[in-house]
Amino acid sequence: MLNGSMRIEIGNRKSEWDNSREVGANWILIMVSKISLDDIEALVKQGESMSLEFKTSTAKLHSVLETLCAFLNGKGGTLLIGVKNNGQIIGQDVTDNTRLEIANLLSKLEPPTSIDVSYIPIEKDKYVIKMTAISNRALIPYIFDGKPYWRVESSTKLMPQQRYHQILIERTHKTDGWELGKSDHFNIDDLDKNAIISAINESIGRGRMEARLATKDPNEALIRLKLLVNGNITNAAIVLFCKDPMPYYPQCLLRMTSFKGSDKSDLLDSQRIHGNAFVLLKEMEFFLKRHMSIKSEIIPGKMARKDIPDYPPRAVREAIVNAICHRDYTIQGGSISVMIYNDRLEITSHGTLPFGVTVEDLKKIHESQPRNERITNVMNKMGIIESVGTGTQEMIKECKALGKPAPEYIERGNTFVVCFRKTAHTLKEDVDIRYEKILSLLKLHHGLKRVEIKDKIDISISDRTLRRDLNHLMELGRIRLKGKGASAVWFLYNKDMD
C-alpha cells in the first residue's frame, strides 16, 4: 500500500524490523505514518526556500538526491516531487521500480543517515512524494555519489572545496580546533607578557574572573585564560598576544583601504598591518577615525553642538571584534579587510558562517557557535565583547537607535561581510556640500578646467563623481562648459552666455 510514509535509514547492519529491505551493503527501514493532502497544500503555500524545494517528477532523481544532500549539510529540509515550481500540484506516477530506484540512490548518501519518504495520493494512480532530510550536525559534511552539495538561497550548488575542507576540520577537531593547536615556532618570550597580565587584571576588574586568580606570572595567566595546554603555547595565544606573528602566521593580517568614490577606481589610502588581535583592533580604530566623516549639528534650543558620525561607532566596533573572534584562521591567506567608500563601510573576514547558521539567523535570537571559543572567551572576559551570540542583533539595534540603516550581513564566496551604509539624508548632504564647493570655486576663479577643480576643492572626490556632479549642475542650469576635451573650462551660468 502506497498511502503512508516510509522512514528510510541507511546503515551497515540489518534492521530488527521485518519489513526492512537490503540495498547493496545497506538496509532500508520502513515505518508507516499518515500524511494528508491538506498537509501538502499547506506546505506548498510556503513556497520554495532554503529548506523547501519542488520537483515536477522523478525524471531527474539524481538532482533530487543532490538537493537532499544539500539539506543535510544545512538545517535539513523537505522536497516535494509532483509539484511544479509555481506551486501547482500535479502528482507523480509511482511504481515498485520508482521506490526501488529512490532507495538505491539514497544508499549513495554518506555518512549513513535517515530520510522520511511519504507517498500522498492526490488522484487515481497519482501521488506527491514527500522526502524530508533530517540533518545531524555531528555528521556534516554529507556527500551524495562522492560529491558534497549545499544550499545557496533556494538553489542547490556543488559545495566549494575550501568550504568542504573547512567543515571536515570543524567536525574532526570540534573539541580542540585550530586555536588550541600547538604553536611550534614561538615560546612565552615571543608573547607580550604585559598584555597577558593586563588581560587578567581587566577581567578581574570587570568581575568576570575571581580576584583570587590574579597573578603576575605570564605562564600562570595563560593557564587561567585557557591558552596554555599541556605546557604548550596555543595558536589562540599567538593570535591574541604574539609580538610579531610573522612569518609563521601570515593570516594575522589587516588590510585597510579608503576610496574617494563608491567603487575601487580611485584609491585614497591603503595600509597592510600584521600583528596580534589587539594591535589590529587599535590600528582599525585609528584608521576609521582618520577616514570616517563626522558632521556637527546645533541642538535646537541649546547653545551646544552634537557630533554625528557617518556610521554608529559602537556597531562598527562590534563588527570589527566579531571579525577577529569568528574568522577562520586556518586559511593562511586570509585576513580582515576594512574598506571605506563614500557611501558605505565594509568589514570583511575570511571564513563563512558556522554550519546551521544563516544570514537571517543573525537578525534574531540564535544559538551561539563561536568558531574560536578561547579567543572569544578572552575578549568576553575583558569586556571587549559583552555577550556571546547577541552581537549581530546589538549592531542592528544600535543603528536603528541612531536613525541609521541596519547593517547588511553578506556571505560572499569564502568570506563574511558586514556592510554599513549611509542614510539617504546623509548622502544628499554630501552631494549638496560638493555642489556648493564647486559653485564657490567657479565663482572665485571665474572658470576652471575639471582637473583644476579637483586640485583646488578641499574635499575628497573621485574623477567619476566630479564628472557626474559637473554634468548634473549643468543639467540644472547652474554651470556651463566652454571648449572640448581636457582644455574645456567650466563657468558659472549667466544669461549673457546665451
Identify the weakest region by mean pLDDT among 28-42, 173-187, 262-276, 464-478: 28-42
**222 and 126, same structural domain?**
no
Read off the pLDDT band of 108 (50, 70, 90): confident
**409 and 260, same structural domain?**
yes
Read off the pLDDT band of 210 (50, 70, 90): very high
**205 and 265, same structural domain?**
no
Read off the pLDDT band of 437 (50, 70, 90): confident
Is pLDDT larger for residue 106 or for residue 169?
106
What would the mean pLDDT of 419-448 be, rounded to a whole number? 78
Most confident of 48-57, 96-105, 293-302, 399-408: 48-57
**107 and 42, same structural domain?**
yes
> Who's near 198: CB < 8 A, 6+ residues apart?
none
**271 and 410, same structural domain?**
yes
**451 and 418, same structural domain?**
no
Does residue 10 sit within a domain? yes
Confidence (pLDDT) at 34: 60
CA atoms of 384 and 262, how far apart (whole Å): 31
**267 and 403, same structural domain?**
yes
**108 and 8, same structural domain?**
yes
* pLDDT beyond 80 at 348: yes
Does residue 164 sit within a domain? no
Read off the pLDDT band of 10 (50, 70, 90): very low
CB atoms within 10 A of CB 204: 16
What would the mean pLDDT of 267-280 be, rounded to a whole number? 92
CB atoms within 10 A of CB 14: 11
Range of the domain at 492: 426-497
* pLDDT beyond 60 at 267: yes
* pLDDT beyond 60 at 180: yes
Is pLDDT larger for residue 110 or for residue 79?
79
**132 and 33, same structural domain?**
yes
Does residue 173 sit within a domain? no
∠ CA 434-435-436 to the nearest 5 degrees?
90
Confidence (pLDDT) at 24: 38
* pLDDT beyond 90 at 13: no
Instruction: Please say which residue of 391, 424, 457 terminates a domain.
Output: 424
**430 and 296, same structural domain?**
no
- Structural domain count, the chain: 4
* pLDDT beyond 50 at 145: yes
Does residue 171 sit within a domain? no
Read off the pLDDT band of 69 (50, 70, 90): very high
**184 and 127, same structural domain?**
no
* pLDDT beyond 70 at 293: no
Instruction: Please say which residue of 107, 129, 159 terminates a domain.
Output: 159
Identify the weakest region by mean pLDDT among 237-246, 259-268, 348-357, 409-418: 348-357
* pLDDT beyond 50 at 29: no
CATH classification of the domain holding 403? 3.30.565.60
CA atoms of 314 and 319, how far apart (whole Å): 9
**434 and 412, same structural domain?**
no
Read off the pLDDT band of 396 (50, 70, 90): confident
Confidence (pLDDT) at 274: 93
Q: What is the pLDDT of residues 455-488, one digit of tens each?
A: 888 777 777 778 888 888 888 888 888 888 878 8
Is pLDDT larger for residue 220 or for residue 306?
220
Read off the pLDDT band of 357 (50, 70, 90): confident
pTM of structure: 0.56
Most confident of 7-16, 41-50, 427-436: 41-50
